[in-house]
């Protein structure tokens, strides 16, 4: 029996010298160390060994199994480490890579810049709900139910009485109904119109409305406020003009144009070769609006104005398609 133990050890040592891969290593394990391997078979024979020989042979068998198992584990570790050696090593001397840092969306940047200008001259910032009543969105702003001016804005109606607001003007109504004059505030937010989506229009966009209500407010004050804004936002060299216009909630009404900052007023594709760009609408608050919110139009006057954020951002950065502002393409957004 001791001879068989020595033969098994010698054969294992001869075979292990030829092993240089995981496949050959597994074959060696099966041949010598598996349930049906040579070592297991020797333990089976051990059962029939005479009692007086069991002590010496048992010690020899245990020593054989431990030695073969140790050599197998050591070779397995070497073969596995050799396979990992080809993996790329980490160069700890390389400088670290800073994580990508996000920035505010271009619409948010533009809105914050406009808000900052008006806050410096005393306007507070007030927001309102995007789901509004028909009364706040239209009725209180001098849009009678059968008035053709309602057709100026294609509306998403939720039911007969509620809708997605088409402008931020309903916030004006809420402010005036909740506080007495003077009121000086701007109202930024999202608005919705049921329009076909194309390069120049979208079903959702952003506006900033402004309102100043007090005694003896004049159109000259409105012009002074908006000229200050234009020079702060577009530069001191900007030229401007006011054109008569129509809005149901202001009378008189006007639109403000500035010289095209792309071509300097010479005429280009952006300004349709006119040299001018429209940036906002404005006017004196219609007395009917004051009556709707409980103000006395004989004692109170005021002005209001409103501008589209997307339009201003597109003009300032020469963006040709409004859809780029909503598609969240990082390649586009990271330019700003």
User: What CATH number is given to the structural domain containing 122?
Assistant: 3.30.930.10
How large a percentage of the chain has pLDDT more than 70?
A: 96
Judgement on whether residues 142 and 191 belong to the same structural domain of the protein: yes
Give start and end residues of each alpha helix (H) in 179-329.
219-234, 287-293, 309-317
Kindly tell me if the per-residue pLDDT of 87 is higher than 60: no
Judgement on whether residues 146 and 267 belong to the same structural domain of the protein: yes
Q: Do the Cβ atoms of 189 and 207 come closer than 8 Å?
A: yes
95 found inside a domain: no
pLDDT in tens, 199-254: 878 899 999 999 999 999 999 999 999 999 999 998 888 889 999 999 999 999 99
If you compute the radius of gyration of the chain from its CA atoms, what whole number of angstroms results? Answer: 42
237 found inside a domain: yes
Kindly tell me if the per-residue pLDDT of 88 is higher than 70: no
Region 18-44: mean pLDDT is: 84
The pLDDT confidence band at residue 84, using thresholds 50, 70 and 90, is: low
In the chain, % helix, strand, coil (3-state, to 5) comes to: 45, 20, 35
293: containing domain: 106-333
Indicate the pTM of the whole model: 0.68
Judgement on whether residues 20 and 126 belong to the same structural domain of the protein: no
279 found inside a domain: yes
Judgement on whether residues 61 and 173 belong to the same structural domain of the protein: no
Kindly tell me if the per-residue pLDDT of 85 is higher than 90: no
| SS3 category, 243 | strand
Judgement on whether residues 10 and 150 belong to the same structural domain of the protein: no
pLDDT of residue 23: 86
Q: Do the Cβ atoms of 199 and 322 come closer than 8 Å?
A: yes
133 found inside a domain: yes
pLDDT in tens, 90-115: 777 888 888 878 889 999 999 999 99
């Amino acid at each position: 029996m001791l001879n068989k133990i020595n033969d098994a050890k010698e054969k294992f040592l001869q075979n292990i010298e030829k092993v240089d891969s995981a496949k050959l290593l597994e074959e060696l394990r099966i041949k010598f160390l598996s349930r049906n391997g040579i070592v297991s078979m020797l333990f089976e024979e051990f059962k029939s060994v005479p009692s007086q020989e069991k002590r010496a042979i048992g010690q020899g068998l245990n020593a054989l199994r431990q030695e073969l198992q140790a050599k197998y584990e050591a070779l397995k570790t070497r073969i596995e480490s050799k396979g990992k050696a080809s993996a790329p090593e980490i160069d700890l001397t390389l400088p670290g890579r800073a994580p990508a840092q996000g920035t505010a969306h271009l619409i948010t940047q533009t809105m914050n810049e406009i808000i900052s200008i008006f806050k410096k001259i005393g306007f507070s910032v007030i927001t309102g709900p995007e789901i509004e009543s028909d009364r706040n969105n239209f009725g209180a702003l001098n849009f009678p139910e059968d008035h053709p001016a309602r057709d100026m804005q294609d509306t998403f109606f939720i039911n007969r009485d509620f809708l997605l607001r088409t402008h931020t003007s309903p916030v004006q109504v809420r402010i005036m109904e909740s506080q007495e004059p003077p009121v000086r505030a701007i109202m930024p937010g999202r608005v919705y119109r049921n329009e076909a989506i194309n390069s120049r229009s979208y079903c959702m966009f952003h506006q900033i409305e402004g309102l100043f209500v007090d005694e003896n407010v004049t159109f000259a004050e409105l012009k002074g406020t908006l000229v200050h804004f234009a020079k702060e936002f577009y530069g001191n060299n900007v030229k401007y003009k006011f054109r008569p216009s129509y809005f149901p909630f202001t009378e008189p009404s006007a639109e403000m144009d500035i010289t095209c900052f792309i071509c300097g007023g010479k005429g280009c594709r952006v300004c349709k070769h006119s040299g001018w760009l429209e940036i906002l609408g404005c006017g004196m608050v219609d007395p009917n609006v004051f009556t709707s919110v409980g103000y006395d139009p004989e004692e109170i006057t005021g002005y209001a104005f409103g501008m589209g954020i997307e339009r201003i951002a597109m003009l300032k950065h020469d963006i040709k398609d409004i859809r780029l502002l909503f598609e969240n393409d990082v390649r586009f957004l990271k330019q700003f």
